[in-house]
Amino acid sequence: MHLLDDVLYEALIETTLKAGRVVMQVYDSAFAIEHKGDASPVTEADRLAEIVILEDLARLVPDVSVVAEEACSGGHIPTVGGAFFLVDPVDGTREFISRNGDFTVNIGLVQDGVPILGLVYAPTRGDLYAGRAGHGAEHISIVDFQKGARRAIHVADPASNPPRILASRSHRTPETDDFIARFPGASLVAAGSSLKFCLMAAGEADLYPRMGPTMQWDTAAGDAILRAAGGAVDTIEGVALGYGPGAGVGVSAYANPWFVARGSLAWI
């Protein structure tokens, strides 16, 4: 099976929806909140959704390694080849806990350091965003965890001037504020999780600066969608954000540098 073919793509969409159903079952219950070793919160939704995704990936593409957030946090970090998946079963756990709806289920596929396929599902919103290298990106309306209307999406052209800048709900830093200050008159759009990449992919925002810690499973799916829609994600040195184990040890090998995501290549 080719990793970008329609059969696998549609199967992964179904996996994402299945995981989203599990997430919502927890969301609608009186769930407990725990904390991992790095003090980040985790709930049963993260663990159960990850199990669903890992089981499906093992069935669909057994020869492709999967780097999944909760497994890695538990010390299970696989050796990866040229192609591997990055999975964040609930991106925006703080948003999940506060029940503001800005959390997502994320599956990203990397080939030779480049995100080539991404799926981001926001179950409370009924929005699923997807993209593949060479195939473009799309928005799929979801009703009762079933696929509805589909439409192609693309970054804004021309870009807004001044830009519409996405700011994290939970992770603003002084460095991020300094970047925003470079664009007088810019409008700020608050959003959580990987939805920020998707809003740019759909032409609803122009820039997303992230001068703070993130992990590759936080960004791979949204990054792939944004690139498929015509955008880019670069480090602050101007190099395309890359994926794969770095110089760190354990989980830290999958830490991202600071980056700026652009809905339009006009914004450097």
What's the pLDDT at 121?
98
What's the pLDDT at 1?
53
Tokens of 159: 């870009």
Q: Which residues contact 87 (CB under 8 A, 6 or more apart)?
A: 50, 53, 54, 57, 66, 67, 68, 69, 106, 107, 108, 217
What's the pLDDT at 69?
94
Q: Is 238 annotated as a binding residue?
A: no
Q: Is 69 annotated as a binding residue?
A: yes
CATH topology of domain 164-262: D-Maltodextrin-Binding Protein; domain 2 (3.40.190)
Q: Which residues contact 98 (CB under 8 A, 6 or more apart)?
A: none
- In the chain, where are the structural domains located? 6-153, 164-262
Q: Which residues contact 65 (CB under 8 A, 6 or more apart)?
A: 78, 79, 80, 81, 84, 85
Q: Is 91 annotated as a binding residue?
A: yes
What's the pLDDT at 268?
59
Compute and round to an integer the Cα radius of gyration of the chain.
Answer: 17
Q: Is 112 annotated as a binding residue?
A: no
Q: Is 93 annotated as a binding residue?
A: yes
What's the pLDDT at 11?
97
Q: What is the DSSP letter of 80?
A: -
Task: Report the 10 Å Cβ neighbour count for 33.
Answer: 11
Q: Is 15 annotated as a binding residue?
A: no
Q: What share of the chain is helix, strand, coil (3-state, %, to 5)?
A: 30, 30, 40
Q: What is the pTM of this model?
A: 0.95
What's the pLDDT at 228?
98
What's the pLDDT at 101?
86
- State the alpha helices, DSSP H only, in the chain: 6-27, 44-60, 69-73, 93-98, 174-180, 195-201, 216-228
The angle subtended at Cα 153 by Cα 156 and Cα 213, nearest 5°, is: 75
What class, spelled out in words, does domain 6-153 have in CATH?
alpha beta
What is the mean pLDDT of each successive set of 10 residues along the chain, which is 268 residues long?
90 98 92 81 92 98 96 92 96 88 95 98 97 98 96 89 82 86 90 91 94 95 98 94 90 95 76
Q: Is 92 annotated as a binding residue?
A: yes
d(CA 190, CA 20): 23
For tokens 């919103």, the residue is: 125
d(CA 193, CA 212): 14
The number of C-alpha atoms within 13 Å of 148 and in the hemisphere containing its C-beta is 8
